[in-house]
Every structure is written in structure tokens, then in C-alpha cells.
Amino acid sequence: MFCMISTDMSTNKVALVTGSNKGIGFAVVRSLCKNFTGDVYLSARDVGREIFSRRNTAASMYSLTTPVLRSKSPIPRLLESKLRSLRTNFFASRDMCNEFLTIIKPGGRVVNVSSVMSSIALKNCSSELQARFRSSDITEEELVMLMEKFVQEAQNGEHTQKGWPNTAYGVSKIGLTVLSKIQARRLREERTGDQILLNACCPGWVRTDMAGPNATKSPDEGAVTPIYLALLPPGVTEPHGQFVSEKQVQVW
């Protein structure tokens, strides 16, 4: 899930939430409609699940009736069911960010919803991989190369021997967390003074279709940290480029 708040003094405030037809994404939209004075756009990969426009007393809520972008993921069709999380969580999120970061206004906020599994999976990577994923000079091109390398080595059934954890979901969330750090660094370098804040977060273990009914948090509780980051007040400079859980910056 990706949430972007774009605003400046001369235009209306706009929020875009992907994967927002259900679960945590819809809870984020519901909270934004209560706490954000602007237009809130919902989007989903499945057009049939789009939620059509309705008005809210706190904000206008609209649906994007067509997909904004189609992922350019290199995942082979043969592996699509096994590695679908790479396509969605990393490659599609990268496409969305690279598209919308070009138009986000000064003072905007970007939140990529990662997972604590990114930290767990990172600890199960080889020391060489850990060093690169934690490096302050890793580039987006190198990160994409590493994600594609995982796909290829998983296709060949040799990813664990090559130092990867045995979880495509975990690797996808490593990619998303590191991507957030790279993009945040680039924003600071290229848009100095615009005060755009970009972070990754873990919403916690939430009762969704994926996590199941035994998870400890409701979707509304899972939306708390993403909303906290999306609505960071004007003038603050941190957190930025961080991995945040329970509204606290976590060691990466």
C-alpha cells in the first residue's frame, strides 16, 4: 500500500491511497476522511473492486476507475503465483512512487506500507546482502538489480544457497523499505527546501485477508502509523527515510 499527500498553499490538498478497497488501505481512507481536509482518492488493482465516489463531511472521496499504472515487473509468468508479492510490493510500488514523486507538491507526505518481515528477512540474508541493503550509498538501480537477481535465483531454485531468505514476501518488503530510504535521500538532494517527507512503516499484525482472523489488530488500529506519517504537520523535518512502527522509528 502507498499513501501520498500532495499539498501547497495554492492548490487543494489531495491524498491518494493504493490498495484501498479493503483492509488497512480502506481504514486509512476512512481515517483520512475524518482527519484530512482535502480530496481522497481510492485505487485498487482489481477494477471490479473499485469503490465509487461518495461525499464525506470531512473530505471528498473519489475512486480511480482505471488503474493508474501497470507494473513493469520482470517476474516470469511461471513464478507469478509464488513471487506475486515481489510484483506488487516492490516493482509496482516503485512504479507508483517514480510516477507521483515527480508531481508531489512542497510539504507533501509519502508513506510506503512495508512490514516487520522486512527486518526479519534482512537478518536472514547473507552478511554481504545485509551490508548492501543497509548501505547509505545503495542506488535504486542496484536495488532493482538485487530484486531481479532474487527472482532469477528463485526461478533456478538456488536463492537460499545464494544467501537469500526463503520468503518472497520478506524480500519484497526489504526492497520496499530500502527503496523508501533511497527515494527519501534523493528528495533531500534534489528538492532541498520542499519539506517533503517519505517513510516506510509497519502497520502491525492486522486482521486482513492475508493475515487472517487471529491477528492482534483491527484494520483501524493498523491504520494508525500510516496516518501518523501521512499527516505529519507542516514544518517538521523528521522522520524522513525511516522505517516506522507504532509511530516510532525502528533500527534498520
Residues catalogued as catalytic: 169
Q: How far is CA 251 from CA 30, 178, 220, 243, 245, in A?
A: 30, 13, 25, 8, 10
Q: Is 179 exposed, middle or buried (0-12, 13-18, 19+ CB in 10 A)?
A: buried
Q: Is 89 exposed, middle or buried (0-12, 13-18, 19+ CB in 10 A)?
A: buried
Closest CA to 250 of 118, 121, 143, 142: 118
Respond yes or no on whether the N-terminal peptide bond of residue 226 is cis (omega within 30° of 0): no
